[in-house]
Amino acid sequence: QSELILQNLKEAVRQNGLQESVQVIRTGCFGFCEKGPVVKLIPDNTFYVQVTPEDADDIVNEHLIKGRKVERLLYVNPETNELILDSKHINFYKKQLRIALRNCGFINPENIDEYIARDGYIALGKALTEMTPEEVIKEIMDSGLRGRGGGGFPTGLKWQITRKVQAPQKYVVCNADEGDPGAFMDRSILEGDPHSIVEAMAINGYCTGASKGLVYIRAEYPLAVERLKIAIDQAKDYGFLGDNIFGTDFSFDIQIRYGAGAFVCGEETALIHSMEGLRGEATVKPPFPSESGYKGCPTNVNNVETYANIPVILLKGAKWFSSIGTEKSKGTKVFALAGKVNNVGLIEVPMGTTLREVIFGIGGGIKDGKKFKAVQTGGPSGGCLTEKHLDLPIDYDNLIAAGSMMGSGGMIVMDEDDCMVAMAKFYLDFTVEESCGKCAPCRIGNKRLHEMLQKITSGRGNIEDLDKLRNLAMVIKDTALCGLGQTSPNPVLSTMDNFYDEYLAHVDEQR
């Protein structure tokens, strides 16, 4: 659909002889999935939503030639019925702060000049010519940036650990595996702003002493792969990758490695195994990848969203970045807002924004006027939070204390019609399927947990099964080898904590 809109717009511009004055460009994602496809006209910032290929003629003839807005394509405020011209006045965007997504929807990601025009590669130049690696690392540490892939480990500290290890060869890796169903944060950044990742990886290489970068990306993301390849080639042509970058003795190159979509390969040791051509299985840490990673060399792994923040931090300073967010979680977080919410899409909010603001302010509330029941944060192994958590400021620590987690940013909203026991079983289906099978608690325990849930939901369970369910979930949480297994019981435990009456109803019905 979008491709056809693009072609029709180009054709209408050509037919009307406007090629000299009007450029039609394809950008990355605007984030407002609910109202896509979106066409934005610059410089007046008119924001047209739910555009079809047939609308292209009207956009060109009415808007560009006659100067009249195409009203039927404008966003209508659902509360006031008022037509909104500029996206900055739409609630979905008004409450967001876009740092990692700053260029998505603004630039042509296949044109390095557009990235440069928005301060691209200045941070790399600044790091290489004005700062020592230690100074850059200190800036990242002072910013308070924590890993956006889910772990929340301080990014600067990770870089410092890798820097301190002496080795002839080191690697920096970008984790673009993004295995959470329904999550597309990393994909959108790579599709909309690939140069920010290239630039940040080079900065990381300078800081850690690595001359080689590897991007581990899902092969199911063909557009992201294509744009990343274009960005790498353009960066080489412009001298931002290769030898003697910015006239210094720093050399850095990036290669792409493809993942086959296994969820466990988002875990850094499994990811490294997969890149080495081995089975994607997690290993015990230590040693950590920063000491012994890819091919036994010190390897610094960060995820896409973490990298996307790096150039801005160097340009605007640690003080600016750390002024955003909460005491222990600085900056913003990108979420893929999905489920029974009116405005499904990709959003970025300051840490500390409440779930209520996200779901009702940005998300526009629950679909079809139904009642909010729960929100699952943190992907398939996150926890389900309820109405009592709506005013909880979102940050790493608050979500864990509430029985969930940040994860990489999946956020699925449920309404009054959703059965929470069925929901827990649904998520467990996924983790059972995705377990790498290396350790018994996850390989066998989750299967048994799943069987118990099947028994309960199919009307054969009793009250004792509920105790067994909780006990086994706790054992798996405490004994599984990697993050996948340790967090996989979260949906069961959090729904038992918050919706025990629904479990009781399932076993009561059987009596």
Site of interaction with ligand SF4 (CB under 6 A): 264, 281-282, 435-439, 442-443, 480-482, 484-485
H/E stretch holding 208 reads: helix 194-208
Nearest approach in angstroms of CB 264 to ligand SF4 is 4
| Cα-based distances in Å from 353 to 91, 149, 361 | 15, 19, 11
Instruction: Please identify, using beta-carbon distances, which residue of 107 and 432 lies nearer to ligand SF4.
Output: 432
- Least Å distance, CB 379 to ligand SF4, is 14
Given the complex with ligand SF4, which of 55 and 267 has the nearer CB atom?
Answer: 267
CB of 363 to ligand SF4, least distance (A): 32
Q: How far is the CB of 282 from ligand SF4 (least distance, A)?
A: 4
CA distances from 368 to 254, 364, 412 (A): 47, 11, 16
Q: Which is nearer to ligand SF4, 242 or 287 (CB)?
A: 287
Query: Helices 222-237 & 185-192, crossing angle to 10 degrees?
Result: 40
Nearer to ligand SF4 among residue 264 and residue 414 (C-beta): 264
HEC secondary structure over 373-403 = EEEEECHHHCEEECHHHCCCECCHHHHHHCC
Q: Which residues of 197-233 are buried (b: 16+ CB within 10 A; e: fewer)?
A: bbbbbbbbbbbbbbebbbbbbbeebeebbebbebbbe
Min dist CB 260 to ligand SF4, Å, is 15
CA dist 229 and 509 (Å) reads 57
Least distance between ligand SF4 and beta carbon 428 (Å): 13
Residues paired with residue 341 on neighbouring β-strands, in sequence order: 366
Closest distance between ligand SF4 and the C-beta of residue 146, in Å?
22
Instruction: CB nearer to ligand SF4: give 351 or 482.
Output: 482
DSSP lists the bridge partners of residue 255 as 214
Nearer to ligand SF4, 323 or 479 (CB): 479
* Residue nearest ligand SF4, Cβ-based: 485
3-state helix, strand, coil in the chain (%, to 5): 50, 15, 35
What is the rounded CA–CA span in Å between residue 30 and residue 188? Answer: 9
CB of 437 to ligand SF4, least distance (A): 5
Nearer to ligand SF4, 389 or 450 (CB): 450
Three-class SS state of 254: strand
Q: How far is the CB of 487 from ligand SF4 (least distance, A)?
A: 9
Pairing of strands 212-218, 171-176: parallel
For residue 366, give the nearest of 382, 350, 390 by alpha carbon: 390
386 or 435: CB nearest ligand SF4: 435
Is residue 328 classed as helix, strand or coil in its secondary structure?
A: coil
Contact 422, 389 (CB under 8 A): no
Closer to ligand SF4 by Cβ: residue 193 or 281:
281
